[in-house]
Structure 1
Amino acid sequence: MWKQLKAFVLVTLGLSAFAEGKLNLSDEDQQKLDAAAKQEGFAAKFMAKYNDELEAKDASNAIDAFMKEQGIDTSASSQKDEGGEGDDAGDLNTEDEGTLSAKVNALTGDFAKLKAENKQLKGNIAALEKLPDADEAPETVQANLNKLNVKHSKTHLFASNDAFDAFEGRPWNEAAKQAMSGTSITAATNWTETANIDKLNSDIQDYFRKHSDEIHNLMLDGFEMPKYVEMISGVSDEYVHNQIITGEITQSLKKKFLPKNKVKFEAEKGKVRDIQIDMLFEGYELKKLEKSYLKRFSQLGITDSNPHKERFVMYVVSEIMKRARKEDKIVAGRGVYFADADRDTPASFINNFDGFLKLYLDARGVKYRPFDLSDKFLNGKPTPLNIYNYVNEMVDRLPYEFRIQPDLIMKMSPYWLGMYHEDRERIKGGNTDYTGKSTFVDKYPNIELVPYDQMEGEDFMYIIPKGIEYMLTDKPGEDGFIQFQKGGADNPRNMRAYGDYKLSAFVAAFGRKEYGKSALDFDNQLVFSNDVEVLTTSYVPVSANNATPSLEHHHSLIIGDNNTANTDITNLTNATAGKRVYLYGNGTDFTSTVKNNANIILADGDFELTKGSLLVLQALAGGKFIEISRKVGGAVEVPEPVILAPDATTADAADGTEFVTSENTQATALTTIENAISGERYTITGGGGTPNATTIANGGNFFLTGAITLTDGVFITVEYTGSKFVEIARG
């Protein structure tokens, strides 16, 4: 009989034999065994007696004691069991069971029955997943989830007695009960009824009052925080960071008191921004949300503990916030704050608050001094062939005392980090000590290389200590989170969803001010970056019919969509000399035209900012601007060719991919293209006439079908393989 009981345990746990030594079941296995035996503590007692058996001198006494403790008469005659039918089959405490053999058979039979029911349950769940998405009546599906111990009262879902779980006046709760209990899903909500919308609104508020922390967590659920960025909650308006960063404080043994940290902390003030949600639901979209909610029950497993307790009100809020979270992730990095409460057109989410890149852009040259790398690299920019040395140069320029500090990070785009690894391998890959990719700067294990996806497309890079970047948020008010309103101007069946929350990015400190020194001193900074353009494609909108747009908020403007009439732009205000200005057109009915005049000097006359058009200007001293480039909306951008110097024997891929020769003073042969990138194509076109026209031989660095003389209009296109420039086309 003891063997049969052990067999029952093995079958229940899906084991073929017990492991050697003492029996030590996991919590999960103990719960499974207790459930199969229908007796709490059964597994623990079995383990104790099993282990006693191993040590006891008289094993039979230990076994008999265990049988007696379970109420099993070991001397009773065997009785036949009819397969364990009935509610009490397999219960070890049942007094009228005759023998251990019968009990083991009953328990084993009950276990087999449970497995069969679970198999049926999976079939029911699969049927539930096929619920239709269209706006017709749902299919009748038997989805019995009672095995998950989901209990309901006659009046409330989950037997909670909370108003938002009541069945009365809430068809969505009745449908949820049907989806879980195994009855036909016949309840349907008419979401065009004002009463149902009002009830949903009141339920959201009621749920918030009882579960405010859960609502707050839900609001942030899905927001992907950048690495080493922390969230500060409870900020209703402004926040001043209270951490004092003092620099070095420790030193070796000495006789006198010699403080090193003669600094005054420069606290930054962060301001959390109000963000509004305005959504218009078509008449059937809330119905689809309800059906999606019911289908979630089909994803439950038999071991799930509590996911089935999600209420419909929370599901609706979470689905709306999922959309907001995707936008917040982008704004946290690339946002440029601009508020116009009196606007008549919807604003872009990119203007919800200043993201981290904008905070560094505004502080650069004001609160911290950037590195000017133009003395080492062309235009101060990284390239795939210089990025390894570029990173090392930035690190080498850090003040020594900062460079050796622990827990520093260098952030850059994933593209540049990938190029860094490739360039590093190109330079060091042949060394015997090369170990592959590293997440730290060479020679500086205290400086971690951190990619940030919102920096993709940017040449900007910066080095900071961990712990100065934060996101700020506030808990929403119960009346200001998500609410619905029936009706709309175009269709009375539509519904409006609206709500408010607060969020912003925050940098706690850019530097420390040492007594008697300038704030823009490398020795007193906490932020170090290169000095390249940033956020040229994050735009601030221009108000309607504005003839002199301001660059106060940002150097990239989007112009036209707010216009009520065609408008001539004659000047720009609040510019910073030396900065590039980007004017992007998005007008449809009415456009703005940048006028060529004494203030704005254009190369090819006036420029109309039609939808998709881009004009790039350089801000000059004295409030003037000069054209750098233009692109008409919808047109294919053709790169400007690089004009080679007379008698040039080489071209430089760092300058471009299109080259035009000049008039030479002597016979000239082009021998190579410096800084070429493997897989890139380059075109050289003749532009210097016939006498002394540039030639390219089939040999050396070039693998051609034959030599070529580049007289006016003659061209050749080659592709660099890493060792040779191979001819692709000529004409």
Structure 2
Amino acid sequence: MNFANLIPAILGILGLSSFGKVDGKECLSDEERAALKGYGFTDRFLDDFNAFLQNPPAAATGSTPNQQMAAVAAVLGQTTEQLQAKTAELDALKQTVATDKAAHAAAIQAKEAEITALNAKIQILSALPETDPGKGAGSATATAPAFNLADEQQLGGLSGSFFSLERPYNQRARAALLANEGKMLAVDAPSSVDYKGLQDDLGAFYRTSWTKRLQSFLVELPTITKLFPTEAGHQDLETLVNLWLGEFSQADSSDKSEFDKVAKGSYEFGHETLRMYGVMFVHKFQSLKQLEKSWIGYFNREGSNPVKLSFIEYLLVETAKVLHNERELRYVNGVRREPDPDKPGRAMAAADGIYEYLRKRVEGHTDFTPDGGTTGKTVYQIKPFTLPRITPGNIGEVFYQGTSMIPSVFRDTGKIVLYIPSFMLPWYHKYNETHYGQNQDYKAGINYVKEFPAVKIETIPNADNHHRIFWTIEGNIKSFCQISGEMLRFQIEQQDWTVKVWSNWKESIQAEAVGYKYTNRADMDGSRQLIWCNDYDLPETYYIEGDKDSNPDALLHSSIVTASNSKVFEITDIANAEVGKVIALKCGADGENGVTIKKAGKFELLTEAWTPKKGDVLRVMKRADGKFIEVSRATAAADSYQFPADATTPSVQGATVFITAANTNATAITDLTDAVAGVVYTIHGAGTANASTIANGGNFVLTKDMTLRAGAFIQLVKAADGKFYEVARG
């Protein structure tokens, strides 16, 4: 092929007047080759043409005008054919798009017509009255269905098998309601056969999925599981292995050291064993007749609305609420005590709560890990921080000091949470407002440690009697159960005129990782623990209740209030009292239910026998020989200054302990004049008629209103903001 004839045509296609040169020779650039390939030229043609440009034959250095025109015409024809083909493709695409657009428009129009029709139906239906008035369009004019006593199939016309008049107790309920209208209806007297139906109903109640319905009534109740989520499917004594690592890195000396001599690092394995506590609910309805009377009385209430819960469901829902609340309190305040056979136990003694769990890890507990290296030994896992006692005046400083003592490798991760009793959060907000409220960057109501924004603050409900605060990794502490919802799976059995109801479940609350288990507390340095806390929990002013008809036990706390005994009980010892530690005994009941301590035996060192009145306090200290020394004794209002009668703003100048007077009128204390910030004031009550009261408001920030009757007291501290905050009451 004579490529010389094609040179003018190709230059014209490329829009060039000449080809570029490389090393003095003409050639096609990569861009020019790509452009020509787009016009249909093959790689072989372009390679040959490029070779021709670089080394044109001597005989082909020229061409005639006719030859060049013929070549241009050939290329033009080829290009024209390509243009026509592309134009035809474009027209076909335009036609397809037009067809699809028409089809889509028709579909859209059809859907719009359907939507219009549905909207019209909604408007018609919304205008109709609703049978169950609510927030719908028809509720404004709709009325609740009447309670129809004329209905002879269902009690009051209410739907559902539980209201069927085939049930004898529903028949008697209808008869009682008709009697109120002066209409008499003969019904069969109660019999043991009638109550067989109640057993059937109870069985039917649990053959359906009522557990979910019961739980729906509980979701609005406050629960600690929002902080410590519940995991199901766990067994008692499950073991979790924790790995504690030593230090490994060091300066490089590999060029002059022997490997075995510089090998470094350690791996130590620890175990956390899950303890699941068995808990039970046992109740016996002694008289089904009495239950039936309650059922009838439920319909006889003034202004009662149509009943929406069956009698049986009502009883079980209310029972479930109580069980739920008891478990929530137990999660926080529980202290497990092994039950006595055939003797009902306390709800708080069924399982350890989170504070008792922490106390044992601080003060020592017996390791129950199966086959562990410390099994059966007393172990310590948390070394507490020595921090000041928390008050409204120093709470911010205590939070800062404690948080700063946590190793930074944990503190700065953003995963550490400070858990505090809920009553402390208002203290903290008020502290920050007092100290930083004038700053331009002050933020009110923060829920994190001000100096360490990465450390979040979470509040624990139902913990007003605790002063322990603790830090740990978020998600480390959890609540556990064996089977989800097991507590509400009631078992029911009828026996003659009684119905037995019970359920059994397992529960626990603890951490997945606490700390290395030390058998010697002196070896602890705080480096191998994942929970940190302050060094005290229950304040000395808070008294825990002792057991009825038993000697006091100081294992959990050093301040104990005696119970109401079956008869006067003589105290002969104080169990678990530590040598050198003051124990405060407060009389919780006097008279025939009170206590006494004779000047004999372990109490022979008392100044005299103690026969207290309610509110009296005896403080003693145990000696090494097991005997108790009397430290002090006081009556409820001993050494107290008395407020003037009917005083609403009494002065507290010159003293810290006061007693109210026998008022002649109702007296509400609204302020304490001459008080000093940071000082704790104790106010004892006197009398019952016109007893002084303090409201939770104004100058006082209390847990609730206070009535200062005889035997009652309240402790208040004045903060920098001028208000008085409750410290304790009793």
Q: Same fold (TM over 0.5)?
A: yes
Pairwise mapping of residues 117-266 of structure 1 onto structure 2 (< 5 A)? 126=144, 141=156, 157=161, 170=167, 193-195=191-193, 197-201=195-199, 203-205=201-203, 208=206, 211=209, 214=212, 222=221, 224-235=223-234, 238-242=236-240, 244=242, 262-266=267-271
- AA aligned opposite 2:596: T
Give how far 1:509 is off.
3.5
Identify the range of structure 1 (224-233 vs 468-477) with the bigger mean alpha-carbon deviation.
Answer: 468-477
> Could you tell me whether the CA contact under 8 Å between 1:279 and 1:496 is conserved in 2?
yes
Give how far 1:553 is off.
6.5
- AA aligned opposite 1:520: M
C-alpha distance in structure 2 between counterparts of 1:291 and 1:397, whole Å: 62
2:608 maps to which residue?
605
Give how far 1:396 is off.
1.9
2:677 maps to which residue?
676
C-alpha distance in structure 1 between counterparts of 2:469 and 2:339, whole Å: 31
Other structure's SS at 2:462 match: helix
2:578 maps to which residue?
576
> Could you tell me whether the CA contact under 8 Å between 2:243 and 2:268 is conserved in 1?
no
Identify the range of structure 1 (404-413 vs 548-557) with the bigger mean alpha-carbon deviation.
Answer: 548-557
Other structure's SS at 1:438 match: coil
Deviations 1:353-402 (A, max 9, x none): 221112222222332211223xxxxxx31222211111111112223333
C-alpha distance in structure 2 between counterparts of 1:553 and 1:62, whole Å: 77
Tell me if 1:503 matches 2:512. Answer: no
2:626 maps to which residue?
623
> Could you tell me whether the CA contact under 8 Å between 2:335 and 2:356 is conserved in 1?
yes
C-alpha distance in structure 2 between counterparts of 1:114 and 1:724, whole Å: 60
Other structure's SS at 1:323 match: helix
C-alpha distance in structure 2 between counterparts of 1:189 and 1:500, whole Å: 39
1:453 maps to which residue?
461
> Could you tell me whether the CA contact under 8 Å between 1:460 and 1:529 is conserved in 2?
yes
User: Residue 562 and residue 625 in structure 1: after superposition, are their counterparts in 2 closer, same or farther (change >3 A)?
Assistant: same
Deviations 1:285-321 (A, max 9, x none): 46546886999x9799xxxxxxx8x876555322211
Other structure's SS at 2:272 match: coil
* Counterpart selection for 2:385 from 371, 374, 381: 371
1:356 maps to which residue?
354
* Counterpart selection for 1:115 from 129, 142, 153: 129
Give how far 1:520 is off.
2.6
User: Residue 480 and residue 141 in structure 1: after superposition, are their counterparts in 2 closer, same or farther (change >3 A)?
Assistant: closer
> Could you tell me whether the CA contact under 8 Å between 2:552 and 2:562 is conserved in 1?
no
Give how far 1:542 is off.
3.6
C-alpha distance in structure 2 between counterparts of 1:629 and 1:317, whole Å: 51
2:532 maps to which residue?
528
Unaligned runs of 5+ in 1: 1-54, 71-91, 93-99, 132-136, 146-151, 158-164, 177-185, 301-307, 374-379, 642-652, 660-671, 684-718, 726-731
Tell me if 1:593 matches 2:596. Answer: yes
1:162 maps to which residue?
none
> Could you tell me whether the CA contact under 8 Å between 1:569 and 1:594 is conserved in 2?
yes
Give the length in aligned residue pairs. Answer: 524
Other structure's SS at 1:576 match: coil
For the pair shown, which has the larger CA radius of gyration, 1 or 2? 2
> Could you tell me whether the CA contact under 8 Å between 2:228 and 2:477 is conserved in 1?
yes
User: Residue 420 and residue 174 in structure 1: after superposition, are their counterparts in 2 closer, same or farther (change >3 A)?
Assistant: same
Give how far 1:616 is off.
4.5
C-alpha distance in structure 2 between counterparts of 1:190 and 1:246, whole Å: 74
Pairwise mapping of residues 284-323 of structure 1 onto structure 2 (< 5 A)? 284-285=290-291, 288=294, 313-323=312-322
C-alpha distance in structure 1 between counterparts of 2:539 and 2:493, whole Å: 36
* Counterpart selection for 1:272 from 277, 280, 299: 277
Pairwise mapping of residues 76-87 of structure 1 onto structure 2 (< 5 A)? none
User: Residue 312 and residue 591 in structure 1: after superposition, are their counterparts in 2 closer, same or farther (change >3 A)?
Assistant: closer
1:336 maps to which residue?
335
Give how far 1:272 is off.
1.4
- AA aligned opposite 1:468: N
Give how far 1:204 is off.
4.2
Give how far 1:244 is off.
3.6
Deviations 1:422-450 (A, max 9, x none): 22222222333322232111232332112
C-alpha distance in structure 2 between counterparts of 1:189 and 1:243, whole Å: 68
Deviations 1:160-219 (A, max 9, x none): xxxxx896965689999xxxxxxxxx9999996544555444554565466497489579
User: Residue 113 and residue 392 in structure 1: after superposition, are their counterparts in 2 closer, same or farther (change >3 A)?
Assistant: closer
User: Residue 328 and residue 59 in structure 1: after superposition, are their counterparts in 2 closer, same or farther (change >3 A)?
Assistant: closer
- AA aligned opposite 1:268: T
Other structure's SS at 1:432 match: coil
Identity of aligned residues (%): 18
2:396 maps to which residue?
388
User: Residue 566 and residue 394 in structure 1: after superposition, are their counterparts in 2 closer, same or farther (change >3 A)?
Assistant: same
> Could you tell me whether the CA contact under 8 Å between 1:224 and 1:329 is conserved in 2?
yes
Tell me if 1:468 matches 2:490. Answer: no
User: Residue 445 and residue 243 in structure 1: after superposition, are their counterparts in 2 closer, same or farther (change >3 A)?
Assistant: farther
Give how far 1:249 is off.
11
User: Residue 200 and residue 682 in structure 1: after superposition, are their counterparts in 2 closer, same or farther (change >3 A)?
Assistant: closer
C-alpha distance in structure 2 between counterparts of 1:117 and 1:498, whole Å: 39
Other structure's SS at 1:382 match: coil
User: Residue 486 and residue 557 in structure 1: after superposition, are their counterparts in 2 closer, same or farther (change >3 A)?
Assistant: farther
User: Residue 570 and residue 513 in structure 1: after superposition, are their counterparts in 2 closer, same or farther (change >3 A)?
Assistant: closer
- AA aligned opposite 1:463: W
> Could you tell me whether the CA contact under 8 Å between 2:295 and 2:311 is conserved in 1?
no
C-alpha distance in structure 1 between counterparts of 2:417 and 2:384, whole Å: 16
The CA RMSD measured in Å over matched residues stands at: 5.9
- AA aligned opposite 1:354: D
Deviations 1:564-597 (A, max 9, x none): x544222223323354545454577454312345
Deviations 1:252-295 (A, max 9, x none): 99999999884432313313132334365774446546886999
1:51 maps to which residue?
none
Deviations 1:90-120 (A, max 9, x none): xx9xxxxxxx9xx999969963773376779
1:657 maps to which residue?
656
Other structure's SS at 1:398 match: coil
Give how far 1:407 is off.
1.6
> Could you tell me whether the CA contact under 8 Å between 2:228 and 2:475 is conserved in 1?
yes
C-alpha distance in structure 2 between counterparts of 1:640 and 1:621, whole Å: 37
Pairwise mapping of residues 411-490 of structure 1 onto structure 2 (< 5 A)? 411-475=419-483, 481-483=490-492
C-alpha distance in structure 2 between counterparts of 1:313 and 1:279, whole Å: 14
> Could you tell me whether the CA contact under 8 Å between 1:278 and 1:499 is conserved in 2?
no
1:686 maps to which residue?
none
> Could you tell me whether the CA contact under 8 Å between 2:639 and 2:657 is conserved in 1?
no
User: Residue 274 and residue 141 in structure 1: after superposition, are their counterparts in 2 closer, same or farther (change >3 A)?
Assistant: closer
Deviations 1:630-670 (A, max 9, x none): 566xx5576699xxxxxxxxxxx9997359xxxxxxxxxxx
- AA aligned opposite 1:348: R
> Could you tell me whether the CA contact under 8 Å between 2:677 and 2:719 is conserved in 1?
no
Deviations 1:135-184 (A, max 9, x none): xx9998566x8xxxxxx8xxxx5xxxxxxx896965689999xxxxxxxx
User: Residue 626 and residue 234 in structure 1: after superposition, are their counterparts in 2 closer, same or farther (change >3 A)?
Assistant: farther
Other structure's SS at 1:467 match: coil
Deviations 1:603-634 (A, max 9, x none): 763223666655444445443434456566xx
Other structure's SS at 1:329 match: helix
C-alpha distance in structure 1 between counterparts of 2:147 and 2:324, whole Å: 27
Other structure's SS at 1:447 match: strand
